[in-house]
Amino acid sequence: MRKSKPIRVLDKTLLRLSRREGEVLIKVAEGKKNQRIAEELFLSKRTIENTRSRICNKLDLKGRGALEEWIKRNYK
């Protein structure tokens, strides 16, 4: 199966993130909300919010919807 260019961008991004941050990023890309991600990973919603914040910092993203916009440009 061939990988598309956007998937490769995501793959390179995952290398800069911790394992947990990568898991959260993938779940966000799947369209899941913080509470659902927290339930699936057996974590608190606040932990997911903090993890998303760290992801945004590492990707130099600012603003509430920046991560979702980044995913739309690079993943889907």
- pLDDT tens digits for range 14-41: 778 999 998 999 899 889 999 999 999 9
Please tell me the least confidently modeled range out of 4-13, 50-59, 66-75.
Answer: 4-13
For 53-60, which contacts have Cβ atoms below 8 Å and span 24 or more sequence positions?
54/21, 55/17, 55/21, 55/24, 55/25, 58/16, 58/17, 58/21, 59/13, 59/16
pLDDT score at 35? 97
Among 1, 24, 5, smallest CA distance to 14 is for 24
Higher pLDDT, 74 or 10: 74
Among 10, 2, 15, smallest CA distance to 76 is for 10
Quick check: 24 and 55 in contact, CB under 8 A? yes
State the pTM of this model. 0.78
